[in-house]
Structure 1
Amino acid sequence: MALVLGFSLGMNDGRDTIEIDNYWIANFFASFLSAIIICFAFVAIGKLAAGYYGYNAVHEWNPITLLFTITLAFITYGYLIFFVPGCLSIQMDKHRRLGKFRYGPNVMDKAMINLLAVLGMIAVAFLALPFRERILGGNLFYLSLLVAMYAMLPIPKSNAGLSVMHASPKFFIFSILFVFFLCIGLFMFNTFAGVLVSAIGGVVFYFYIVSTGKLDK
């Protein structure tokens, strides 16, 4: 998955800067490196969250979506990047769950584990924000935001957003609004104040939907 993302991310700038010394080579290398870092961080954060809840986590993704990502990158010459980050599938860890008997994994636990992995991507974007003007820092910033937003889409088979929606539709609406407003605010305003305002907007919009009865209980 990291190789596909790196190729798609570096295709656009590689075409536009191919005649500017060897900048496109540096961009392609930075794209692959940033994709590897982001994919590793997404899975690592999810596994840490799973360990906290007493589970073992395995990252699942659909190979068909990677073919779609490559095809879309070729058709749009790298100007449009869409991918499905996948989700964390959990299994009970008997040694960590002594005294906490359950018949099987809790759906809300799986939702929280995947949501924490998504929020971890936003944390990576915060860390990369001061280095946004550099090649690697910019790629880390944009790719982490894309992973956070795309992961919240309730795409069948395997995606973090689908596990959250299965746990609770209301919690899913709240989560996806919060994540999307947060990512958009971080991208547009480039300040903590803007992110805070955007996050508050997402929360208010969620409660508006619930209070008006537009979401079934």
Structure 2
Amino acid sequence: MVSEYFRFENEEIKGLTITILVLSFIMSFREWGTDKFDVGTGLTNLFNTIVIVTIAIIVREFAQRIFALRHGYRYEYRMWMYGLIIGLVLVFASYGWLTFIAPGGLVLHQITRARIGKFRHGLSYMNILQVSLAGPVANIILAMVFKMFMFLPNTALIEKAITINILIAVFALLPIPPLNGANVFFQSRLIYVFSYASIIGTGILVYFANVLLAIVGGLLLGGLMWLVYYLKVESA
């Protein structure tokens, strides 16, 4: 079953390729020279960004596919063309100072034979939430892995890889359909507040501090924001 449902369909490959190229262009927009426009420097930076974004997106997609299959669903990637266009318009209009990253959304299709015997046999919104969180969490974990290599002499690319993975995770959890964040937000506000605060806190601390502090600090921030939201909104 894994080999049958884990593979990428042609439409998904096309969508992922377009997404990777557009996101790479957006995230390397201001890297075409320092004092003046330099084609060689720009192409080198664009190539490096494409490699990093490809790794980040593949890790994200694999994590979401694995979680989907684990719960008995076939995973399908959906490119968000309007989101990519918004990102391009913003980056051009602001000369690269404003960034909007739209990594796309997902659709789950029930695998009937895999769902037999499951509680509430049909499509579970909680399962959609779990799959939607798997991608951003995978990107944050990947950022932590890159952070462990910051002892190497040339860390510019490693730092860039950390930044890109954090940005993809943070933007993916925005509560805007069809991004992953919408699936979490409309299923459980409490889980959304905890997970988004944890992702943001962990991302900031991974970049500026260390992995251990990032994990502890991120979870503490998530727990604090969960408590504040529960007391101020849910129980009000």
| TM beyond 0.5 | yes
Match for 2:155 among 134, 142, 146? 134
Name the count of aligned residue pairs: 215
CA distance in 1, matches of 2:165, 2:147: 11
CA distance in 2, matches of 1:147, 1:48: 19
Matching of residue 162 in structure 1 with residue 162 in structure 2:
no
Deviates more, 1:173-182 or 1:144-153: 173-182
The TM-score, its normalising length taken from structure 2, stands at 0.81
Gaps of 5+ in 2: 1-18
1:28-86 deviation per Cα after TM superposition (whole angstroms, max 9, x unaligned)? 11011112222222112110111111111111232111111111121222233212222
Amino acid at match of 1:83: I
Match for 1:152 among 166, 173, 178? 173
Matching of residue 215 in structure 1 with residue 234 in structure 2:
yes
CA contact (8 A) 1:151 1:159 kept: yes
1:111 aligned partner: 129
Identity %: 22
Alignment of 1:1-217 (within 5 A): 1-16=19-34, 22-100=40-118, 102=120, 104-131=122-149, 134-156=155-177, 158-210=178-230, 212-215=231-234
Shift of 1:2: 0.4
Amino acid at match of 1:197: G
CA distance in 2, matches of 1:21, 1:85: 27
CA contact (8 A) 1:18 1:24 kept: no
The TM-score, its normalising length taken from structure 1, stands at 0.88
CA distance in 1, matches of 2:130, 2:108: 11
CA distance in 2, matches of 1:192, 1:35: 25
Shift of 1:195: 4.1
CA distance in 2, matches of 1:125, 1:207: 27
Amino acid at match of 2:212: F
Gaps of 5+ in 1: none
